[in-house]
């Protein structure tokens, strides 16, 4: 049987709340049987990415609140969560400034791996990762709703449900352990330090400014990393405008590792206990973990809902293969090609590889039925 992916289009045909995206999403949630996934009185993580300082194109609090209200109506007890992406205390401040607070959402905002980012459980993963540590508030949860702001990603190509599960569900720094069992491992599978090409470096210091751990310095104009404190997040390499920093990974190995991470997270739940909601809104070229935002590369496309992470991301990429690149965006000069989505063309890598690897690993199915519900 095909996986169902529900689709709410972004258009408003009349001047009424009910005809707009927010109203249609609320209406959908009211008619949708969330209790098929979440049992009465359960404490339920609503997993999302809370952004970064300057990364303001995340999911608007109004939409998150609708999901909180829907979970509460079961009745169950939602909390909004992510694992730490920048140091935990700072991340909570970022969340508050983005409008994600108990007061605005109606549910507590909690760091899934604690304020220090080391509250996690080690579980078995695939052949590349071996073992990974899952953020405890996700590991211990009986059910979950995964809200994903769809965007591009220089390494994963698509920042969709699979990436949200994997990079956000796997903790950064397991207690009494090294980054080797955290999410940094996905970036560092064929080596454990970055390589720096001095001849390419222009000393722009973008890498230093973007490092969440402030562990890059340039003594005598030489890129130097405090390896003991480095999270292996790879951001320094991603932002380097001249590719002077190389992370020891290939696209193929990264995609496989990313999917293994997602599978390890999903395997801590019973079957059909996670619901995924992708917001194809304000789709910027890069991840919300970067300390900035860039104009969207395509017009808003709406909201997708499914209980299959592969189906929802496959549907997302299919929609993104039919969009028109927006003028004045980073994708403005891209010519769309049959079978290619805008993020794969922008990042010059095959985003569908995520889907293929995920399907092979049994994370879900790319064979879906799109059900238009608004
Ligand atoms: S990988 Fe780069 S950006 Fe990330 S923590 Fe290490 S030095 Fe900083
Ligand atoms: S971002 Fe690249 S070019 Fe700029 S200082 Fe760092 S290594 Fe050098």
Residues 322 and 228 placed together within one structural domain of the fold:
no
Q: Are residues 261 and 354 in the same domain?
A: yes
Kindly state whether residues 308 and 327 are assigned to the same domain. Answer: yes
Distance from Cα 359 to the centre of ligand 2, integer Å: 37
Q: Could you identify the atom of ligand 1 that is nearest to the CA of residue 214? A: 8
Q: Is 202 in the same domain as 298? A: no
Distance in Å, CA 38 to ligand 1 centroid: 37
Q: Could you tell me if 260 and 161 lie in one domain?
A: yes
Q: What angle do CA 63, 29, 48 make, to 5 degrees?
A: 40
CA of 49 to the centre of ligand 1 (A): 19
pLDDT at 182 > cutoff 90: no
Average pLDDT over residues 346-370: 97
State pLDDT tens for residues 207-245.
Answer: 999 998 899 999 999 999 999 889 898 889 988 999 999
Query: Is 216 a pocket residue for ligand 1 (Cβ < 6 Å)?
Result: yes
36 and 52: one domain? Answer: yes
Do 35 and 58 share a structural domain? yes
Question: What is the average pLDDT across 331-338?
Answer: 97
**CB distance 123 to 131 below 8 Å:** yes
Q: State the maximum Cα–Cα separation within the chain, in Å, rounded to a whole number.
A: 63
103: pLDDT strictly greater than 80? yes
At 131, which CATH number? 3.40.50
Q: How many domains does the chain have?
A: 2
Q: Are residues 214 and 354 in the same domain?
A: no
Give the per-residue pLDDT at 178.
77
Q: Are residues 86 and 220 in the same domain?
A: no
Q: What residue numbers bound the domain in which 213 lies? A: 193-246
User: Does any ligand 1 atom lie closer than 6 A to the CB of residue 257?
Assistant: no
Protein residue with its CA nearest to atom 1 in ligand 2: 240
According to the model, what pLDDT value does residue 374 have? 85
Tokens representing residue 201 in the block = 């470096």
Residue 200 sits in a domain of what CATH number? 3.30.70.20
What is the reported pTM? 0.95
Q: Is the CB of 232 under 6 A from ligand 1?
A: yes
Q: Tell whether 38 and 165 lie within a shared domain.
A: yes
Same-domain pairing of 180 and 202: no
């Amino acid at each position: 049987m095909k996986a169902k992916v529900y689709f709410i289009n972004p258009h408003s045909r009349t001047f009424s709340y009910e005809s707009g995206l927010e109203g249609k999403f609320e209406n959908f949630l009211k008619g949708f049987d969330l209790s098929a996934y979440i049992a009465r009185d359960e404490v339920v993580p609503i997993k999302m990415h809370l952004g970064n300082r300057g990364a303001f194109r995340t999911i608007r609090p109004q939409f998150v609140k609708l999901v909180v209200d829907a979970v509460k109506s079961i009745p169950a007890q939602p909390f909004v969560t992510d694992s730490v992406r920048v140091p935990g205390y700072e991340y909570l401040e970022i969340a508050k400034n983005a409008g994600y607070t108990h007061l605005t959402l109606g549910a507590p905002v909690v760091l899934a791996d604690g304020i220090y980012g080391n509250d996690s459980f080690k579980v078995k993963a695939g052949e590349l990762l071996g073992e990974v540590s899952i953020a405890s508030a996700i590991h211990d949860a009986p059910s979950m709703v995964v809200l994903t702001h769809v965007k591009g990603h220089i390494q994963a190509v698509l920042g969709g449900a699979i990436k949200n599960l994997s990079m956000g569900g796997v903790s950064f720094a397991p207690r009494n352990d090294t980054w080797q069992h955290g999410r940094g491992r996905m970036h560092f599978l064929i080596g454990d330090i970055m390589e720096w090409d001095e001849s390419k470096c222009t000393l722009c210091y973008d890498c230093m400014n973007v490092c969440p751990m402030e562990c890059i310095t340039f003594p005598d104009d030489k890129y130097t990393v405090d390896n003991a404190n480095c999270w292996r997040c790879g951001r320094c390499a991603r932002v380097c405008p001249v590719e002077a920093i190389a992370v020891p990974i290939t696209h193929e190995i990264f995609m496989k590792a990313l999917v293994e991470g997602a599978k390890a997270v999903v395997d801590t739940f019973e079957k059909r206990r996670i619901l995924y909601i992708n917001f194809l809104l304000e789709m910027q070229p890069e991840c919300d973990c970067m300390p900035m935002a860039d104009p969207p590369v395509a017009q808003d496309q709406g909201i997708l809902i499914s209980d299959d992470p592969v189906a929802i991301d496959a549907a997302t990429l299919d929609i993104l293969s039919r969009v028109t690149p927006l003028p004045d965006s980073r994708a403005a000069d891209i010519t769309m090609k049959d079978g290619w989505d805008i993020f794969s063309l922008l990042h010059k890598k095959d985003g569908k590889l995520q889907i293929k690897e995920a399907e092979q690993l049994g994370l879900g199915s790319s064979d879906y039925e799109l059900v238009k519900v608004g």
